[in-house]
Structure 1
Amino acid sequence: MKTFRIRVDGQAAEAEADSETSLFAAMTRVGIAWPVSCRNGTCRTCLGRLLEGRVRYDIPWPGLSADEKDEGYCLPCIARPVADVVIVKA
């Protein structure tokens, strides 16, 4: 299975994840701190913005508006990479 690089803008550490691993889980594995609460996409504590890359979700419509999705916002607790990702905390 292909793996993708995950980088938080402004931090040196990088994580790797396959398309079945959430961004949050991958970041946690390498010690990158990211706020999270519910871990199911409803509380929005983990809200981030993709500067590069793409993600997918297992649920049809996570807790994001259509405008937020169009503007590159994502929920790392449930977002799975489908390309290399650069993210920043929203």
Structure 2
Amino acid sequence: MNAPAPLPFFIARVGDDGTQCDAWPQQPLLVSLEQGGIDWPSSCRNGTCRTCIGMLAEGQVRYEVEWPGLSPEEKAEGCVLPCVAYPLSDVKLEAPGI
């Protein structure tokens, strides 16, 4: 009996209004959001400007670069930079101040 194949993508939810899109593990969350028609602020796309900062309310992400643009305290609070964050599971993102 073969084990089930892993899902090719995850689901990214934004806020509490049901907005969601496919989140591909091989590309940054910001790209998946944009491909899904979700407007999320962005600028540098390399993790330094912090324009895309949000809160990871649910799920897990990984980074392919050293932790850019966030302090250890922000990381511990759940801040995330979608431009350089890759999903490891379904995720829920919240814009700052929500």
Q: What TM-score do the two structures reach when normalised by structure 1? A: 0.92
After TM superposition, give the deviation of residue 17 of structure 1 in Å. 2.0
Residue-pair matches, total = 90
Q: Which residue number corresponds to residue 33 of structure 1?
A: 39
Distance across 1 between alignment mates of 2:78 and 2:30: 16
- Post-superposition CA distance 1:44-86 (Å, at most 9, x none): 0000001101111110222111111111000001100001100
Post-superposition shift, 1:11?
A: 3.4
Q: How far off its partner does 1:34 sit?
A: 0.3
Checking the alignment, whether the CA contact within 8 Å between 1:13 and 1:30 is kept in structure 2 is no
Bigger mean CA offset, 24-33 vs 4-13: 4-13
Aligned equivalent of 1:11, options 12, 17, 24: 17
Dislocated runs of 4+, deviation >6 Å = none
Unpaired segments ≥5 residues, structure 1: none
1:54 aligns with 2:60: yes
Percent identical: 47
Structure having the higher Rg: 2
TM-score, normalising length: structure 2: 0.85
**Is the contact between residue 4 and residue 17 of structure 1 (CA under 8 Å) also seen in structure 2?**
yes
